[in-house]
């Protein structure tokens, strides 16, 4: 006999959560510094991240926590590839995003091909997972930045990250602490981007 799962709590109005969502802002990855999440915090952040919408329960993604040593080695290996980018100096500079933050989680989209759930929906699930990780980091008192940069698309870089033929990097979630609050950025005007029909 299958054991039924315990019911979850129903949603309730949460003013603190509303305020956070109204003010959520990505952090500049290069500015993220220690302290970062503890091992227990990181486990909780990962668990929350995995509670993401997923049509078909396919789990069409995987997470890789990149250690500081791994990121330093990757940055060193990626540096020569920067010479082939349209702006080599900028391409080298953004490698600091990979090495500066205390914690980096690579979100990899791993869609199941030839399935009734379209690949596009599975890829959207990987994006939702990345956003969940960002929210979870903030809930634990940290700032986060979800980025890709050129090395998420360069085929030679992908092999360095261990990305398979049918996989794509959905993003790197960098987590740490900011010394000063980030500045607000321009936001879209709802009147221009929202329609009611």
Binding residues for FMN: 24-26, 51, 55, 146-148
Per DSSP, helices labelled H in the chain are 15-23, 39-49, 68-78, 88-93, 96-99, 119-139, 155-160, 190-193
Give strand pairing partners of 145.
174
What residues are designated binding site? 24-26, 51, 55, 146-148
Contacts of 65 (CB under 8 A, 6+ apart): 42, 46, 103, 104, 105, 106
Task: Give CA–CA dist 39/4, Å, rounded.
Answer: 31
Task: Give CA–CA dist 75/117, Å, rounded.
Answer: 36
φ, ψ for residue 87, nearest 5 deg: -125, 85
Task: Give CA–CA dist 131/61, Å, rounded.
Answer: 13
Task: Give CA–CA dist 160/151, Å, rounded.
Answer: 10
């Amino acid at each position: 006999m299958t054991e039924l799962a315990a019911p979850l709590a129903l949603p309730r109005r949460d003013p603190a959560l509303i305020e956070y969502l109204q003010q959520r802002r990505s952090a500049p990855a290069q500015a993220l510094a220690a302290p970062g999440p503890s091992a227990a915090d990181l486990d909780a952040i990962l668990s929350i991240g995995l509670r993401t919408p997923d049509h078909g329960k396919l789990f069409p993604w995987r997470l890789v926590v990149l250690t500081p040593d791994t990121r330093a080695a990757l940055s060193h290996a990626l540096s020569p590839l920067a010479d082939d980018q349209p702006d080599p100096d900028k391409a080298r500079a953004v490698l600091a995003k990979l090495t500066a933050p205390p914690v980096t989680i690579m979100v990899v989209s791993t869609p199941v091909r030839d399935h009734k759930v379209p690949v596009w929906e599975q890829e959207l699930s990987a994006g939702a997972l990345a956003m969940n990780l960002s929210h979870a980091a903030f809930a634990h008192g940290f700032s986060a930045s979800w980025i890709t940069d050129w090395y998420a698309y360069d085929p030679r870089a992908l092999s360095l990250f261990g990305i398979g033929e049918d996989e794509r990097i959905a993003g790197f979630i960098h987590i740490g602490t900011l010394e000063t609050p980030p500045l607000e950025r321009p936001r879209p005007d709802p009147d221009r981007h929202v329609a009611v029909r």
